[in-house]
A and B are shown apart, each in its own frame.
Chain A
Amino acid sequence: MIELVNVPSLITVQDLGRRKYQSFGVPVSGVMDEVSARLANYLVGNEDNTPLLEFVLKGPTIKFHSSTVFAVGGDVEVKLNGQPIKAWRSYWAKRGDILEIGTLKSGMYGYIAFAGGIACEPILGSCSTYLRAKFGKALSSEDKLKLGYAILTGKEGKQLPKEFVPKYEKENIVRVTLGPQEEHFTKRGIETFLTSEYTVTSESDRMGYRLEGPKIEHSDKGADIITDAIPLGSIQVPKNGKPIIMLADRQTTGGYAKIGVVTRVDIPRVAQTRPNEKIRFRTVSVEEAQDALRKREQMMKAVKLFLKGELRAYKLRVSEEEVIAFTKVEKKK
Chain B
Amino acid sequence: MFPKFKPAGDSAIAIIFGSEISEEINKKVHAVAETIEHTSPEWLVEVVPTYTSVYVYYDPIKISYSEIAEVLKPFLSAEPKKEEKRIVKIPVVYGGSFGPDIEFVAQYNNLTIDEVIEIHSKPLYRVYMLGFLPGFAYLGGMDDRIATPRLEKPRLKVPAGSVGIAGKQTGWYAIESPGGWRLIGRTPLKTFDPRKKPPSIVKAGDYVKFVPISEEEFQEIYKDEWGEER
- Contact string against A for B residues 12-35, beta-carbon threshold 8 Å, 1 for contact and 0 otherwise: 101000011100000000000100
Q: Is A124 an interface residue (CB 8 A)?
A: yes
Q: Beyond A22-B46, A24-B135, A132-B175, is A261–B9 a contact (Cβ under 8 Å)?
A: yes
Min distance, Cβ A27 to any Cβ of chain B, angstroms: 7
- Asked if B96 is at the interface of the complex by the 8 Å CB criterion, the answer is no
Interface centre among B11, B129, B150 (most CB of A within 10 A): B11
Interface of A, helix, strand, loop or mixed by DSSP? mixed
Across-interface contacts of B152 in A (CB, < 8 A):
238-240
Chain A, range 113-170, C-beta contacts under 8 Å to B: 123-124, 132-135
The smallest beta-carbon distance between B31 and chain A, in angstroms, is 14
Contacts known (A25-B174, A124-B199, A264-B11); A293 close to B60, Cβ less than 8 A: yes
Asked if A25 contacts B8 (CB within 8 A), the reply is no
Q: Residues of B contacting A27 with CB < 8 Å? A: 133-134
Shortest C-beta distance, A239 to chain B (Å), equals 5
Q: Which of A60-68, A93-101, A104-112, A222-230 contacts B (4 or more CB under 8 A)?
A: A222-230
Q: B94 at the A/B interface (Cβ < 8 Å)? A: no
**What is the predominant secondary structure among interface residues of chain B facing chain A?**
loop
Are A238 and B180 closer than 8 Å at their CB atoms?
A: yes
Contact A231–B167 (Cβ < 8 Å): no
Known contacts A24-B199, A226-B21; A133 and B52 CB within 8 A of each other:
no
Q: Is B7 an interface residue (CB 8 A)?
A: yes
Cα–Cα distance between A254 and B8 once the two chains are bound (Å): 14
Beta-carbon contacts of B179-207 to A below 8 Å, as 1s and 0s?
A: 01000000000001010001110001000
Return chain A residues, CB-CB under 8 Å to B48. 22-23, 229, 252-253
* A287 touching B64 in the complex, CB below 8 Å, given contacts A24-B199, A239-B152, A293-B10: yes
Choose from B8, B130, B167, B194 the contact partner of A123 (Cβ within 8 Å). Answer: B194
A25 neighbours in B (Cβ, 8 Å): 130-136, 174, 192, 200
The complex places the Cα of A251 from the Cα of B130 at a distance, in Å, of 11
Given known contacts A264-B9, A293-B61, A227 and B55 CB-to-CB distance under 8 angstroms: no
Q: Which residues of B contact A177 (CB under 8 A)?
A: 7, 9-10
Complex interface residues of chain A between 167 and 213 (CB less than 8 A to chain B): 177, 179-180, 203, 207
Interface residue range, chain B: 35 or more
Minimum C-beta distance from A162 to chain B (A): 26
Contact B131 A227 (CB under 8 A): yes
Q: Which residues of chain B are within 8 angstroms of A227 by Cβ–Cβ distance?
A: 50-51, 129, 131-132, 138, 169
A324 to chain B, nearest CB (A): 21
Q: Is the CB of A135 within 8 A of B194?
A: yes
Which residues from chain A contact B81 at a C-beta distance below 8 Å? none
- The answer to whether the Cβ of A329 comes within 8 Å of any Cβ in the partner chain is no
Contact B64–A290 (Cβ < 8 Å): yes
Q: Is A20's CB within 8 Å of the partner chain B?
A: yes
| Interface flag for A80 (CB, 8 Å) | no
Q: Which residues of B contact A23 (CB under 8 A)?
A: 33, 46-49, 130-131, 204
Which listed residue, A231, A252, A255, touches B9 by the CB 8 Å rule?
A: A231
Question: Does chain B have a CB within 8 A of A19?
Answer: yes
Residues of chain A with a CB closer than 8 A to B149's CB? 224
0/1 string, A255-283, CB within 8 A of B gives 1: 11010011110000000000000000000
Q: Which residues of A contact B65 (CB under 8 A)?
A: 286-287, 290
Q: A294 on the interface (CB 8 Å rule)? A: yes
CA distance in complex: A258, B12 (Å): 14
A-B contact pairs, 11 of them (CB 8 A): A19-B46, A23-B33, A23-B48, A24-B135, A180-B6, A227-B131, A227-B169, A231-B11, A238-B154, A287-B64, A294-B60
